Amino acid sequence: MLPRGHVSGVRVPGNWKDQFQFSSNFRRGLGLLLLAMLLVPSSLWAHTTENCPTEPGQAAIVSGETYFGANCVLNTASDLDTFTFSAGAGDTWKMVAGTTNAAYPNNVCMNLNDPNGNLVTWTCSDSAANNFAAVLIPKLTLAGVYTIVVYETKTAAIDYGISLERISPAPADGTALTLGKVVSGAVTPPSAQHAYTVYGTTTGTYEVSAAMTSGAYPQNLCFSVYQPDGTAVVGFECTDTAANKFTAQAEFTPTADGTYVVIAYSALDNDTFNYTISVACVAGTCPTAPPACSLKDAPTYNATTGTLTMDFTLGTPYAVTWNAWVTSQTSMQSLWSASEPITEPPTTVTMTQTLSKSGKVGVLSTFTTPTKGITCSSWAIVNTGTP
């Protein structure tokens, strides 16, 4: 082998039908849907850890997830474990593979293959330099399912951990940092990385501060800060435990308003310790972040043309899936399901739909993310007149 999914105008996807009529085929009651909404956790910001599957090692991985456990083992140089994830065109991701028990000259490596199976990039650790982790931070050009292939360069039984984090758009698994508030965290298990989000504006200068609360030399805590477009504004800042420095600090001045991403990790990417992290406004004006999510609908109905017009106000600091339904009594019809990128500041979008007179109907819409579930929703009623 080699070294070793927007709607224009009204934002409606191409497979969205121009017209619909209520049908008895759609019998999912609104009450059931609303109950399901209430059962969805309102926040799922925690980093998750999974054990690798048994051989053959094949699994799906999502942003904010780390695989590390008894099954995460490479036994021979031909042993390939694969992890797949879905990404959008233009996304920036960071993936880390680290081993705790490899020895020179063995190394852990990663290949990244695109949705067509072509090699995008690859990297290996450098055991000669006492570096036992491989790191990739690619900006992706295609939308679809990517594959990470993990392998070793020499035949030996070694463990490994692998973690994945989306940097741009800002990940839904990121923990929001509030100015002046200290948050506790832990780099665990090995190879784990943890994402935090900071709302930044061009009117202020911000300082990120991270301090180790456990661990010792040669362990070190590092962090990087990424702009909304995925480029680094702070490449990396680390503690220096050899010099008895257990705190790392770095300032940055945003070049654009939006959500910045801070990634905290171990300098060696193969050990564990606890830490605290915070952000402060050190110069200028640093306004608070806008509402985390806003979705409002002001529907109207033109009985002459039979047109339902929905004037939505959209605002989201995360990339989400926007779903909408129209309901009448116990019938429900799906209107669309479309990807909505980061939308800051909020914007107005007008959607139209041909609809026969159906009495009072409801328009339900939601923003959802894979890990946080429903971030916000809108429910509006409009009278279309007597059928």
Give how far Cα 102 sits from Cα of 158, 221, 238, 264, Å.
6, 21, 24, 24
The answer on pLDDT for 254 being more than 50 is: yes
Q: For 32-67, write each residue's pLDDT tens digit.
A: 333 233 223 322 334 788 999 998 889 999 999 999
Q: What is the mean pLDDT of residues 114-119?
A: 97
Structural domain boundaries in the chain:
30-39+290-383, 45-168, 174-289
- Report the C-alpha gap between 5 and 141 in whole angstroms: 12
The answer on pLDDT for 92 being more than 80 is: yes
Of the chain, the percentage scoring pLDDT greater than 90 comes to 70
Query: Residue 291's pLDDT is what?
Result: 66
The answer on pLDDT for 17 being more than 50 is: no
Band the pLDDT of 386: cuts 50, 70, 90. confident
- Report the C-alpha gap between 214 and 290 in whole angstroms: 35
Give how far Cα 313 sits from Cα of 112, 201, 227, 296, 348, Å.
38, 22, 25, 5, 5
Of 93, 169, 171, the C-alpha closest to 138 is 93
CATH class of 45-168: mainly beta
Query: Residue 19's pLDDT is what?
Result: 32
Of 225, 62, 231, 238, the C-alpha closest to 138 is 231
CATH (one of 3.40.1080.10, 2.60.120.380, 1.10.540.10, 3.40.50.720) for 174-289:
2.60.120.380
Are the C-beta atoms of residues 231 and 139 closer than 8 Å to each other? no
Q: What is the mean pLDDT of residues 220-230?
A: 96
Of the chain, the percentage scoring pLDDT greater than 70 comes to 87
Hey, which bits of 138-182 come out as E strands? 144-152, 158-159, 161-168, 175-176
**Per CATH, the architecture of 30-39+290-383 is what?**
Sandwich (2.60)
Find residue 247's DSSP bridge partners.
Answer: 211
- Report the C-alpha gap between 292 and 316 in whole angstroms: 6
Where b means 16+ CB within 10 Å and e means fewer, 350-363 reads ebebebeebeebbb
Query: Residue 42's pLDDT is what?
Result: 29
Give how far Cα 50 sits from Cα of 72, 139, 163, 181, 297, Å.
10, 25, 10, 30, 40
Q: What is the mean pLDDT of the chain?
A: 86
The domains spanning 30-39+290-383 and 45-168 adopt the same CATH topology: no
> What would the DSSP string read from start to end of 122-138?
EEE-BGGGTB-EEEE-P
The answer on pLDDT for 358 being more than 80 is: yes
Hey, which bits of 214-359 come out as E strands? 221-226, 232-238, 247-252, 258-266, 273-284, 294-302, 307-316, 320-328, 331-340, 343-354
Band the pLDDT of 121: cuts 50, 70, 90. very high
